[in-house]
Chains A and B, each alone.
Chain A
């Protein structure tokens, strides 16, 4: 789960990391009022969960409250990479001397957290990593020991930070480690972390990703999820415990198991079709779940056929078939349905579906071919 900049910075601040004075606004009037309170030049920043806001014109400097209001109105009407801007952050502007990149994230291959820093901050860090790998400093953190101050000092020295700022940096690093740990973050990033003309260090921007598997113990963070920023079908699917991702094709997929769901998409593509979604109904596959999944798939007007691919292991195919029948009764789909049931009680399952006006298939390849053919017939 992604957090907005204003949410991330509020968390940073709680752990002693200095951030600019400022607040979030949903209207131009609010933005003006915040600028008046700050009584200085301000930066108006679009709050959307994508990168490249600056390049898209979503970050602007205002010299007075009137200009802040005008810029806020302009930015609040924008769409950035398809996402409408609903909020802006109005921050006190800083006089910047140096920009640093600093983050703590999971290094999957090393199975450890890693601290990443670069004196070449402010811009796309992946670009720096690709073109100037020598400018990126990495230091792994023992997950049982936690970040130690000497490691942060070493990173500061390796970045050639001004001596007078090393202590500040260590404090910020220790703060960010506490943020990362306390929030179950998979990424806690400050880019840029700036040294101002007054030689103070401030986290000018913030980005956080939270581990979805840890949300059970992070209720406050779970409440921060911005469902305006995802496809409505994905929000709906989450309610039913379904794993769903919307894609651009026209063959809806309903599969049990994530690996098999991905594979079903791949095989559709292999035989000339395009999947409309990824959907894992998980184990059990009760009729309620199947019905919810069917409703979600069919809300997509692009869907011209639906492919069910169920491997009955512990889950019995006849039970899934009953679920499908109950769901059909409720949802009354108008597009062709291709069903493939294999494994435990597949024969009984197929018999149940015989009279349900569905296209049945033996193999996955066969099912994919039939689904592709069904979409072409419709056109």
Chain B
């Protein structure tokens, strides 16, 4: 067991013939992920990876031919909203969108549409998902994590890798690592993932890596306080970030006095979460 992705995942790659798409498809297949097909409009009928993975013109035809149950999106930002609508319309239950730089108004429309469907979106602007030893959907380097019982959820990319790597060095493994992404409007939030970890028998402890901007960490703290039985350790990035400035991630901004790191840390500590002072310290809080 694990959450969202495992060895039963039958994955499509949207944008499979692009540079990024092809590179990461190679990496995902090498890790053992079952990539059943790819989508690039106009390139249907071609094959990639030495004839191992078929390319389709649309998500609908790809799903009919492969019975895919998840898709990962690598298309440029201007085409990503359409790719998400298309995947949802084709009835794919899990969409993971890696693309960075999707316009916020587009994301509000996508999210509103997806809320009417039975589709879960992870991302955009995220590194994707990794269930060590089973499947990697996205760009998290496979070699930095080992299988285990710690669920990891994060808004960041390389900061997450840093934590997975520190865990590995301590012999601590992950059940699933979920990158929810750094955009202000996204598909899956901390709360959703914490609920999944709470109900996943394989996950015994949780690491949550947040950052400035928004109030999803505060909502998560409330859930942890009221419902969660498993221990949670956390880290919040951006304690030195000035207000009103976007710190790289579109969603990492302190606005009108809300979204500051100190408020998030306070809320988490009040919910019994151990908050680390620096990322290398996080795994030690769960030992």
Contacts and interface: CB of A to CB of B under 8 A. Distances in A.
A267 B109 CA distance: 38
A19 B108 CA distance: 30
B242 interface: yes
A211 B184 CA distance: 11
Interface stretch (B59-67, B150-158, B200-208): B150-158
A76 B150 CA distance: 60
Interface stretch (A27-35, A258-266, A330-338): A258-266
A131 interface: no
A360 B157 CA distance: 23
Interface in A239-294: 243, 245, 247, 255-263, 265-270, 275, 278, 280
A275 B182 contact: no
B78 interface: yes
Given A245-B245, A342-B162, A214 B105 contact: yes
B144 interface: yes
Contact of B104 (A211, A259, A363): A211
Contact of B112 (A111, A181, A186): A111
Interface in B222-239: 235, 237-239
B185 to A, nearest CB: 5
B146 to A, nearest CB: 15
B56 interface: no
Contacts of A311: 158, 161-162, 165
Which of A126, A143, A243 has its CB near the most chain B CB atoms (within 10 A)? A143
Given A266-B237, A364-B162, A181 B248 contact: no
Given A247-B242, A270-B278, A363-B280, A258 B249 contact: yes
A268 B277 CA distance: 11
Given A259-B159, A311-B161, A212 B237 contact: no
Contacts of B156: 257-260
A259 B103 contact: no
Interface string B235-261: 101111110011111111000110000
Contacts of B185: 106, 108, 111
A319 interface: no
B159 A113 contact: no
A343 B161 contact: yes
A95 interface: no
Nearest to B159: A259
Contacts of A278: 241, 245, 247-248
B157 A245 contact: no
Interface in A92-137: 106, 108-109, 111-113, 126
A260 B280 CA distance: 12
Nearest to B104: A211
Interface in B77-126: 77-78, 101-109, 111-113
Interface of B: 23-24, 27, 77-78, 101-109, 111-113, 139-141, 143-144, 154-162, 165, 182, 184-185, 209, 211-212, 214-215, 235, 237-242, 245-252, 256-257, 277-280
9 contacts: A112-B108, A184-B103, A214-B106, A243-B248, A259-B158, A259-B237, A263-B278, A270-B278, A365-B280
Given A143-B111, A270-B277, A342-B165, 18 more contacts: A106-B185, A109-B214, A109-B215, A212-B246, A212-B250, A247-B240, A256-B158, A259-B155, A259-B160, A262-B240, A263-B278, A267-B278, A311-B162, A311-B165, A313-B157, A314-B141, A364-B280, A365-B278
